[in-house]
Amino acid sequence: MTDIPTRPQPYLITLNPDHVSPLSRRGITLATIAEELDRASDRQSVGSGDSPAAPRVRRLGVRGQDPHTLAVTLDSRGISALKSQYGDALLIEPDIELDLFDSGPASGLQRVASGNFFALGSSKLVLSITVADPDGAAVPLAEVRADGTAPVSSDKDVTNARGRAEVTLYGETPTSLRALQVKPSAGFWGRLVKRPDLSGVSKRNGKYHLTLTVTPILSEGHDETDIWGYRAMALHNANDEEHEGRAPVRIAIIDSGISPTHETLSPTGGEDFTDRDDPEAWREDLSGHGTHVAGTCGADFNGRGICGAAGPGAGMHGLSVFPGGRTSSIIAALDWCIDKQIDVANMSLGGPTPTKALEDAVARAAAAGVFMVAAAGNSAGPVMYPAAFEKVVAVAAMGETDSFPSDSPHANHRGAHQSGRFFSAEFTCFGPEIDVAAPGVAVISTVPSEDDAGYAAWDGTSMASPYVAGFAARLLTARPSLRDMARGAERVAALRDALFDTCTDLGLPRDVQGRGMPIWPAAAPSPGGDDTATILDRLKRISKELEREIG
C-alpha cells in the first residue's frame, strides 16, 4: 500500500549581505541561481527516482529590475544541494503561511460535525434553531454554534433559506448546555445566550425547536457618526470639501480581494498574487475579509451604509494574497506598491515569525514612499509580523462600551484594561512595538452579498488597522505640505509624525495602546456643544503651548 506523499516546502532565497566571496569566484546573483533552478526543473520530474523534486521558481522584484528574492518550492534534498553548492552566500528561509486577523463569520459556510468524538454512542441533544429578524423574517447564512460542558463538545451549522439550522451535541443534556451563539453573515448583530433555559422550549421528534431573534446593525436614516469608530476618531471633523479636485491618495488593501460591486466601494484597480492564475481574481473576495477591511478604510457614504476613514474619493487598490497567503505573497504585493507609487498600504494579516526577506521588502517599500500600516494580531501575545517591524505602524484593537448589544458575541472581547468608555480588546496582541490603537470590536463595515449592500460587524486587529490606514490617507489629502513632498523615506517619516501627533492617550497601558488613538483635529466646537474629541484636542493644544512657554 502506497501512502500519500508530502509536498515539497516553499522557501525564500535572498543573498546574504554578510557573505564575503573569494576574489577568484565570480559574484553570485539571484538571476543566475534562478536560471540554474529552471534548468534543473527541466531535467527532473517531480518525485521521480532518487533525485530531488523539480524546483518551482518565482522571481520577486520590482518591474524592470533584477530579482531581489526567489520564492522556490523544494524538497529537503533540493535545499541540501543548494546549501552544499553556495554555503552561506544564500539566506534560505521558510515561506511562512500567514493568517488574516479577524473573528467574523466562518468563511466556509458549511456544516461542521460535532466535536465530541468520545461520546458518539451516548445520548444526544439536538437543537433545531430558527434565526429571524424582529419582524419574524428568516435570516439565512447565519452561523449557529452550540457549546456544551465537555471541553470538545460543540457543533455548528449555517442557516438555510428558511433561517433554520440544526446542531447536535453528544453526551449533553438540556441543563448542561453552556451557550448558544449566532453570527449572521451580514445585516444583523450576533447573539450570545449563556446558560440557555430549554425548559419551556417545544420538543418534537426528539429535537428542541427554538427561535433566536437578531437585530439590524444599521438603522434607517443613520449617518456616519452613528458608526462608533468613525465617531470616536472624530473623522466627522474633516472638511473634505476643501480638498476637492486633488488627485486621490492611492491606497493598497493587501488582503483577500475586494468586492467591486458593493454599493459603497469603488476600487480603482488591483492585482492577484495567489496561485489562481488570473490577475483580475482580486475582484472575487472568497472570505469577505478584504471587502470588510476596504470598507472601513475607504467606503463612500451613500446615506445607507458607512463612510471609510479615508473619506470620499479614496483611490483603493485590491491586492489579493489570500487564499493561501505566504510571506512571498506580501513581498510581491509590496513590489507592486513600489511600481504603482502607492501612498498607503494596509496589511491586516501576518504571522509570528519574522524573515529577513520580508524585513528587506518593508524597508524597500518605505524607502520608495509607501506608508505601511499593519494589524498587530489576535493571539493576545507578542505583536505579529510585519506589524512588529520598525518601519510599519502597528495597530492594536480597542472597543467602546455600549457600541454593541450586551447579548452579542462582541461582549466576550472586553479585555482586562478599561479607561472610561474605552477598553482594550482581549484578543489584541501587545508589546512595545504597538504604535497606536484603533476601533477593533464591533466594527461595522462592508461584506460581499447577493444584493451588493451587505454590512456586518466583525472583531479583530484586522478591523482596527484600516481605520489607521484610512486616517493616514486622509491626512495626506488634507495637508498639501505632506502630499507634495517627494516620494521617499522622508515623506513616510513626516506622515508618521503627523499621525502620531494626532494621537490621544486613552488611559490604557502603553503596551496595548501605544501612543493612543488618532483623533481628527477639530477646527471648531460641534454645533451641539463640545464633544469628547473636541475637548481632548483643545487640551492637547493648550498643553503644547504651555510646554513651549515653560521651555
pLDDT tens per residue, range 48-67? 444 555 568 999 999 989 99
Q: Of 150, 369, 425, which is closest to residue 249 (Cα–Cα)?
A: 369
What residues act catalytically? Answer: 255, 289, 462
DSSP 319-388: EE--SS-BHHHHHHHHHHHHHTT-SEEEE-EEBS---HHHHHHHHHHHHTT-EEEEE--SSSSSPPBTTT
**Is pLDDT at 530 greater than 50 in this prediction?**
no
Q: Can you give the pLDDT at residue 547?
A: 53
pLDDT tens per residue, range 377-413? 999 999 999 999 999 999 999 999 999 999 999 999 9
Q: Can you give the pLDDT at residue 138?
A: 97
Q: Collect all residues with Cβ–Cβ distance below 8 Å to 88 and sequence separation of at least 6.
A: 16, 18, 19
The share of the chain scoring above pLDDT 70, in percent, equals 84
Q: Is 424:416 a contact under the CB 8 Å cutoff?
A: yes
CA 354 to CA 126: how far, in whole Å? 45
Question: What pTM did the predictor assign?
Answer: 0.87
Burial pattern 450-459, b for ≥16 Cβ within 10 A else e, equals eeebbbbbbb
CA 309 to CA 466: how far, in whole Å? 8
DSSP 3-state of 472: helix
**Is pLDDT at 26 greater than 60 in this prediction?**
no
Of the given ranges (117-126, 244-253, 462-471), which has the lowest mean pLDDT? 117-126
Q: What is the DSSP letter of 317?
A: E
Q: Of 72, 63, 64, which is closest to residue 30 (Cα–Cα)?
A: 72
**Taking residues 90-118, what's their average pLDDT?**
67
CA 533 to CA 471: how far, in whole Å? 15
**Taking residues 289-296, what's their average pLDDT?**
97
Residue showing cell 552544499: 84
Q: Is 57:70 a contact under the CB 8 Å cutoff?
A: yes
**Residue 142 pLDDT grade (very low, low, confident, very high; cuts 50, 70, 90):** very high
Q: Can you give the pLDDT at residue 220?
A: 79
Residue showing cell 518605505: 366
**Taking residues 498-516, what's their average pLDDT?**
97
**Taking residues 237-253, what's their average pLDDT?**
82
